[in-house]
Structures are given as C-alpha cells and as structure tokens.
C-alpha cells in the first residue's frame, strides 16, 4: 500500500504511542525507537508494518548515523535493512558510550553492502565487503555485528586487522570497543609485527699498528 512520507511519519509515530499529528507535507522523516528515518518515498503496509524505501535513506540517533541507497524493514519490529553503498558512522557520543566511560570512543566508520539495524536491541549487522576503521586501527571481513549496548564488535570471514605496522589475521575476531580486548579463533591465526632494524653499535676500535725496527 503506497502512502506519502508524511502519512507514514504520522502512522509510525502512532504505533509508538506518540501523538499522531501529521508531519508537514514533504518532511519525509519519522522516528522509531529513538531512530530518526529520513527519505523521500516510502511504500508501507499499516497492517504488517512492512515498508520499502526505494530512494536514499538516512537513519540516525544520538552518537551514530547510517545511510544507504535504499531500504526495507518493519516499523512494528523496529528493523531497518539498508542496501547499497552503506556507511555507518559512530562518533562515540551514544548514551551507552557515555555510560561506558572515557575509554569508549566507538568505531569511526563501518562500510558494507548491506546493514540490518535492530532499533530495539541497538544492534547493527553488516554484510558484504565490510570495512572497519577506529583511529589507527582498520579491519576487513565478510560479516560484522556491532552492539552499542555491550560495546562488542564481532568480525568473521577472512578477518584482517591492521594497527600501524602490526597486522592480525583470523577467521573470527571479537573486539571490545571499551576494554580493547581481542579474542580470535579459526586456523590459521597469523600475527605480523614490524621488523626491528638492528641498532648500530659503536664502530670497532682501530687495531694497533706494529712499528718495525
């Protein structure tokens, strides 16, 4: 069933128990479980909650935001599936991050082909060409999940982590963004440290010359 973005916004707010005041025509945004959703066109079914968004979609909450070329999901379940050139950015300013303390600064960016957002569990599931960046650390994998409540990043499928000149390969890596603890599994696990150049020592003392008589 096709509805304008403004009508979808009003209906979704009603499902959440908010006042069903119509959004301004053309506003194209609504809020579900604390996530603001912005797009230009939405096809939505009021009975099932299923929706599709054929144009660019932006989903945001305090501390994080994501975008995709298009999306689908369910307003009742509070799930969104972003597809196409997906970018998820976490500034570390989420309420859960503040509760974790100063050690939590979140990942800077996760890019992937497909991102599923569970707005109730604050969970992100990334699939296809996953690339992760946090400061000087970078990582690639086939699949990743990030939970903003537990601060846990799970990477699996040909995982490669790089931190400066140190690289780490494994099949599965669990990385805690708060404690920086890393757990890995899957053979083979390869850690490459930078090769240390030998420290030059003092030049050899000149050998005394013998004086002929």
**Helices H / strands E in the chain, number of each:** 2, 16
The residue among 94, 110, 103, 91 whose CA lies nearest residue 180 is 103
For 2-192, which CATH superfamily applies? Lipopolysaccharide (LPS) transport protein A like domain (2.60.450.10)
The pLDDT tens digits of the residues spanning 60-90 come to 988 788 999 999 999 899 999 999 999 998 8
- The Cα angle at residue 32 between residues 5 and 78, in degrees rounded to 5: 105
Contact by Cβ (8 Å): 64, 76:
no
Mean pLDDT by 10 residues, the chain (213 residues): 34 30 45 88 91 93 90 92 93 57 62 94 93 87 90 90 87 85 80 61 59 57
């Amino acid at each position: 069933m096709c509805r304008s973005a403004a009508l979808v916004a009003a209906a979704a707010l009603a499902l959440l128990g908010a006042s069903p005041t119509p959004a301004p025509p053309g506003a194209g945004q609504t809020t579900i479980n604390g996530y603001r959703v912005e797009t230009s066109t939405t096809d939505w079914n009021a009975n099932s909650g299923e929706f599709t968004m054929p144009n660019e979609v932006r989903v945001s909450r305090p501390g994080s935001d994501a975008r995709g070329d298009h999306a689908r999901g369910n307003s009742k379940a509070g799930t969104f599936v972003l597809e196409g050139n997906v970018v998820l950015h976490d500034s570390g300013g989420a309420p859960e991050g503040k509760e974790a303390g100063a050690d939590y600064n979140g990942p800077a960016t996760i890019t992937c082909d497909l991102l599923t957002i569970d707005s109730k569990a604050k969970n992100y599931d990334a699939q296809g060409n996953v690339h992760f960046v946090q400061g000087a650390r970078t990582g690639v994998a086939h699949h990743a999940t990030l939970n903003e409540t537990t601060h846990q990043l799970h990477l699996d499928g040909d995982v490669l982590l790089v931190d400066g000149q140190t690289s780490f390969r494994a099949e599965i890596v669990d990385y805690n963004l708060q404690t920086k603890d890393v757990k890995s599994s899957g053979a083979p696990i390869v850690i490459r440290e930078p090769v240390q150049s030998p420290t030059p020592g003092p030049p050899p003392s000149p050998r005394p010359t013998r004086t002929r008589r």
